[in-house]
Amino acid sequence: MRAKYLIGFLIILAAIGYLAWGGLGKSLVYYVLPSEYADNPAKYAGKRVRLGGLVKQGSVHFNPKTLELKFVVTDGVVDIPVEHTGTPPELFKDNQGVVVEGHFEGNVFKGDNLLIKHSESYQAPRKGEYTPDEVRKLLKEAK
């Protein structure tokens, strides 16, 4: 047995064990849905939570000066207002799947990390939507 490799192997084994029992256990319920929160708000009070759902249509308010972003996350049953600071990611829009990391303060969810859950479906733009040339034009305008 070569000792240093054996030690390395045992470290990896411990890491896998930690990921499998600790990490995976936590990530199995990666996010809670608004209605799950509403069922038992006490369970999540003061804890770090990931809240997942869709951005409610027309609920997005973003102040580019203060970077205050307010929107509502919904699962179709329960709506939860979210307050977040930071520029929204590119794919952020109405009806987009999102996962927000943060904590509850009363009925408001204070987010500190905003993740986008995009779909597995990929399609070329239909007529009237973005074409390569239009994207290039948009990029030029952005500069």
Binding site for other proteins (CB under 8 A): 1-2, 5-6, 8-9, 12-13, 15-16, 19-20, 23-24, 26-31, 52, 89-91, 99, 113-126, 129-132, 135
Helix or strand (DSSP H, E) at 134: helix 132-142
Least spacing, CB of residue 104 vs other proteins, in Å: 19
Q: Given the complex with other proteins, which of 106 and 132 has the nearer CB atom?
A: 132
DSSP codes joined into one string, 11-58? HHHHHHHIIIIIIHHHHHT--B-HHHHHH-HHHHTTS-EEEEEEEPTT
Cβ distance to other proteins smaller for residue 70 or 117: 117
Nearer to other proteins, 106 or 129 (CB): 129
Give the residue carrying structure tokens 């927000």. Answer: 100
Rounded to the nearest whole angstrom, what is the least distance from the CB of residue 106 to other proteins in the complex? 25
Q: Measure the CA–CA gap between 83 and 107, rounded to whole angstroms.
A: 11
Smallest separation (angstroms) from other proteins to the CB of 123: 5
Smallest separation, CB 130 to other proteins (Å): 7
**Look-up of token digits 């064990």:** 17
Which CB sits closer to other proteins, 106 or 121? 121
What six digits make up the tokens of 75? 């699962």
Tokens of 33: 């849905």
CB of 34 to other proteins, least distance (A): 14
Q: Which is nearer to other proteins, 22 or 41 (CB)?
A: 22
CB 68 within 8 A of CB 83: yes
